Amino acid sequence: MADLRLFIAARPPDTVLRGLSDLSRLLASRGDGVKWVRSDSIHLTLKFLGSVDEAMAGAIGDAAARCARGVGNIPLSVGRVGAFPDMRRPRVIWVGLAGEIERLGSVANALEEACFDLGFSKEGRAFRPHLTLGRVKDRLSVETIKKIEQSKDVVLGDMVVDAIELIKSDLLPSGAVYTTLSHFPLT
C-alpha cells in the first residue's frame, strides 16, 4: 500500500480564516522571505503523523474518534502574532490561541498517547496551539518585523473547536493540498 502524509487537526471557521488572510496581506512585505500560508490551508495541528502506510489510516481514525468522545466544544479566541522559535530567529510566523487551552491540550495529549500506542513517536516539544501564517524561508525584512511587532496584540475573533479531522497532505510545487479523510465531532 502507498504511504500517506497525515496529521490530525481542527479547522477554523471561515470568519477567522478571512481575518487571518487579511492579516497575512497586512504583514507581507515585498522581498520578506516568507512563504505565506493560503487561508484555506490554515489549521490547528493537534498531532502530526508524517508518512504513514495507508493501511494504518483506519486505526488512526478509530483512535481519533475515541479521543473526540466526551470532550464537548472548546471555545477559543484567536489573536496575538508571534514567531517560533522567537522574533530574533523567526522560522514560523503564527497567530496564537487563548481560552480553554487546557481542554484543547487534553485532546492533543490524548491523541499523542493514542498514536503512541499505534507505534508513532511522541512529539519532543510541548503542545503550543497556534495557527501558522507563514514560514520564513530567508531573512525577514525590517519592514515585516516592524509590522509583526505592531500587530502583536491583534484580536481576530473567536472560534469553537467542535470537531477534529484526520487530514491527508499532498505536497505539490504550488504548496500543500489538504484533504479531510475523516471528521470526528467533539461530542
183 is catalytic: no
| Annotated catalytic residue, options 104, 130, 164, 165 | 130
User: Nearest CA to 112 among 46, 184, 53?
Assistant: 46
DSSP for 32-80, written as a single string? --EEEPPGGG--EEEEEEEEEEGGGHHHHHHHHHHHHTT---EEEEEEE
- How far apart CA 99 and CA 73 sit, in angstroms, is 12
| Annotated catalytic residue, options 20, 32, 39, 43 | 43
Cβ atoms 36, 134 nearer than 8 A? yes
Cβ atoms 97, 104 nearer than 8 A? yes
Cβ atoms 37, 24 nearer than 8 A? yes
130 is catalytic: yes
Which residues are catalytic, by number? 43, 130
